[in-house]
Structure 1
Amino acid sequence: MHSNQQHPYTEWVDLASRKLGGQVLSCSDDFFAEMENLIKPAEPVFIHDKYTDRGKWMDGWESRRKRVVGYDWAILKLGCQGRIKGFNVNTMHFAGNAPKQVSIEACNSRTAPDENTQWTTIVSQQDVQPTSNNFIDCESDGVWTHLRLNSFPDGGIARLRVYGEAVMDTDWFLPGEPVDLAFVKNGARPVECSDMFFSSMTNLIMPDRGINMGDGWETKRRRGGRECDWIIVKLAGTGTVKKVVVDTAHFKGNYPDGFSLLGISMPEGQHPGENADWQPIIERQKLTADAEHFYKDEVISGEQTFTHIKLNMYPDGGISRLRVFGFLAAE
Structure 2
Amino acid sequence: MMLDIDTQEQNKLTGASLALVTQLKTNCVDLASERVGGETLSCSDDFFAGMENLLKPGRGIFIDGKFTDRGKWMDGWESRRSYGRDNGREFDWCIIRLGIKGVIRGFDIDTNYFRGNAPQTVSVEACVSDVQPNEDTVWQTILTEVAVNAHSQNIFEINNNTAWTHVRLNMFPDGGIARFRVYGEADVNWKDFVDGELIDLAYIKNGGKALLVSDMFFSDKNNLIMPGRGKDMGDGWETKRRRDPGPDWSIVKLATKGSIEKVIVDTCHFKGNFPDTFTLEGMVTDSDDFTDGKQAEKWQPIIAKTKLYAHREHLFLNEIIPENTKKFTHVRLNIFPDGGISRMRVFGKV
Asked if TM exceeds 0.5, the reply is yes
Q: Between the two proteins, what is the percent identity of the paired residues?
A: 53
Residue 313 of structure 1, aligned match among 332, 335, 340: 335
Deviations 1:47-74 (A, max 9, x none): 2222222222211111111124111100
**Whole-angstrom CA distance in 1 between matches of 2:221 and 2:58:** 18
**Whole-angstrom CA distance in 1 between matches of 2:341 and 2:71:** 44
Aligned to 1:217: 237
Deviations 1:253-292 (A, max 9, x none): 111111111111112x543454231111111111111100
Q: Does 1:131 align with 2:151?
A: yes
Distance 1:271 1:305, change over 3 A: farther
Q: Which amino acid aligns with 1:60?
A: G
- Give, in angstroms, the shift of residue 122 of structure 1: 1.2
Whether the 8 Å CA contact 1:4–1:134 is kept in 2: the answer is: no
- Give, in angstroms, the shift of residue 82 of structure 1: 1.2
Residue 195 of structure 1, aligned match among 187, 206, 215: 215
Q: Does 1:38 align with 2:47?
A: no
Within 5 Å, give how 1:40-79 maps onto structure 2.
40-69=56-85, 70-79=90-99
**Whole-angstrom CA distance in 2 between matches of 1:220 and 1:34:** 36
Deviates more, 1:201-210 or 1:134-143: 134-143
RMSD, matched Cα: 1.4
Within 5 Å, give how 1:1-331 maps onto structure 2.
4-5=13-14, 6=18, 7-8=21-22, 9-11=24-26, 12-69=28-85, 70-224=90-244, 227-267=246-286, 269-272=287-290, 274=293, 275-302=296-323, 303-328=325-350
Q: Which amino acid aligns with 1:318?
A: G
- Give, in angstroms, the shift of residue 38 of structure 1: 0.8
**Whole-angstrom CA distance in 1 between matches of 2:191 and 2:157:** 29
Whether the 8 Å CA contact 2:84–2:173 is kept in 1: the answer is: no
**Whole-angstrom CA distance in 2 between matches of 1:168 and 1:297:** 29
**Whole-angstrom CA distance in 1 between matches of 2:121 and 2:341:** 42
Whether the 8 Å CA contact 1:4–1:135 is kept in 2: the answer is: no
Q: How many residues align?
A: 324
Distance 1:251 1:270, change over 3 A: closer
In terms of fraction of residues, the more helix-rich structure is 2
Q: Which amino acid aligns with 1:291?
A: R
- Give, in angstroms, the shift of residue 128 of structure 1: 0.3
**Whole-angstrom CA distance in 2 between matches of 1:247 and 1:125:** 45
Gaps of 5+ in 1: none
Whether the 8 Å CA contact 2:200–2:206 is kept in 1: the answer is: yes
Whether the 8 Å CA contact 1:169–1:186 is kept in 2: the answer is: no
Deviations 1:140-180 (A, max 9, x none): 12111110001011111111011122222324312221110
Gaps of 5+ in 2: 1-11
TM-score normalised per structure 1: 0.94
- SS of structure 2 residue aligned to 1:113: coil
Q: Which amino acid aligns with 1:30?
A: D
**Whole-angstrom CA distance in 2 between matches of 1:171 and 1:98:** 43
- Give, in angstroms, the shift of residue 185 of structure 1: 0.3
